[in-house]
């Protein structure tokens, strides 16, 4: 896709989704990190329902590190993979307390050394918590960016690397949110609403679909 078309596409998506942004509720970097870890393979909305109780009882790494795992499980049991997540957030809190003076580290390498933290989580924390320009590739970003033709990749890492080359650096974080919103509201996995898509004229997938139908 030409640079001019990429810019136009982002502008249209920004106009379509003016409220695009992080949907998780958090008060500081620690709460952001925990919320992002909890959000894996579940909705931000479901995470926001359990974190007020979780952070009310365990507001910092030291308190969560000392928590009873069964108690944490009970608090977050309504979200997916709650047993594994309870174990991970307790363990990562302990590592924060012991190795990082209770502070969330500000590099991807350090973040990914924490239990339960992968590349996507690290990128979200760096973008939302530290103000860095990052592209976190989740299922929505992967699907939408490849469908549109922004990239043509088979895996998440290569998609991220290609998007970093294609998208303006100063719009990486913004693009991440816009692609997620578009994936949730129009470009769904099973039944994308192509006919009402505001960027269908730029979309490779839609063009190929139209050619097939004709």
Task: Name the catalytic one among 25, 49, 85, 120.
Answer: 120
Total number of domains in the chain:
2
* 147 and 202 belong to one structural domain: yes
Q: Is 204 exposed, middle or buried (0-12, 13-18, 19+ CB in 10 A)?
A: middle
pTM equals: 0.91
* 48 and 117 belong to one structural domain: yes
Distance of CA 173 to the CA centre of its chain: 10
85 catalytic? Reply is: no
Residue 1: pLDDT band by 50, 70, 90 thresholds?
Answer: confident
| pLDDT for residue 2 | 86
* 151 and 125 belong to one structural domain: no
* 124 and 144 belong to one structural domain: no
The last residue of one of the domains, among 95, 130, 165, is 130
* 59 and 92 belong to one structural domain: yes
Render the burial of 72-106: b for 16+ CB within 10 Å, e for the rest.
bbebbeebeebeebbebbbbbbbbbbeebeeebbe
* 164 and 108 belong to one structural domain: no
The last residue of one of the domains, among 130, 153, 176, is 130
* 36 and 10 belong to one structural domain: no
- 171 token code pair: 């719009």
φ, ψ for residue 29 (rounded to 5)? -65, -35
CATH number at 180 reads 1.10.1670.10
Task: Name the catalytic one among 85, 138, 154, 165.
Answer: 138
State pLDDT tens for residues 162-193.
999 999 999 999 999 999 999 999 999 999 99
* 148 and 119 belong to one structural domain: no
* 79 and 170 belong to one structural domain: no
* 63 and 112 belong to one structural domain: yes
SS3 127: helix
Domain ranges, residue 194: 3-20+135-213
- 159 token code pair: 């998609």
The last residue of one of the domains, among 130, 156, 191, is 130
* 125 and 33 belong to one structural domain: yes
State pLDDT tens for residues 128-157.
999 999 999 999 999 999 999 999 999 999
* Residue 78 pLDDT greater than 90, yes or no: yes
Terminal CA-CA length for the chain: 24
* 95 and 142 belong to one structural domain: no
138 catalytic? Reply is: yes
CATH number at 51 reads 1.10.340.30
């Amino acid at each position: 896709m030409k640079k001019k078309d990429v810019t136009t596409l982002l502008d249209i998506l920004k106009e379509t989704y003016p409220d695009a942004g992080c949907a998780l509720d958090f008060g500081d970097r620690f709460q952001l990190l925990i919320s992002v870890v909890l959000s894996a393979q579940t909705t931000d909305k479901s995470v926001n329902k359990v974190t007020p109780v979780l952070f009310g009882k365990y507001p910092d790494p030291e308190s969560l590190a000392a928590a009873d795992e069964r108690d944490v499980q009970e608090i977050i049991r309504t979200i997916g993979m709650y047993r594994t997540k309870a174990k991970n957030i307790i363990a990562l809190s302990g590592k924060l307390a012991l190795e990082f003076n209770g502070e969330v580290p500000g590099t991807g390498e350090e973040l990914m050394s924490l239990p339960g933290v992968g590349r996507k989580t690290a990128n979200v924390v760096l973008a939302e918590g530290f103000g860095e320009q990052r592209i976190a590739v989740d299922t929505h970003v992967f699907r939408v960016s490849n469908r549109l033709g922004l990239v043509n990749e088979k895996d998440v890492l290569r998609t991220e690397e290609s998007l970093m080359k294609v998208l303006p650096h100063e719009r990486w974080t913004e693009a991440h949110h816009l692609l997620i919103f578009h994936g949730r509201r129009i470009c769904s996995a099973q039944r994308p609403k192509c006919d009402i898509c505001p960027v269908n004229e730029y979309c490779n997938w839609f063009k190929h679909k139209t050619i097939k139908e004709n």
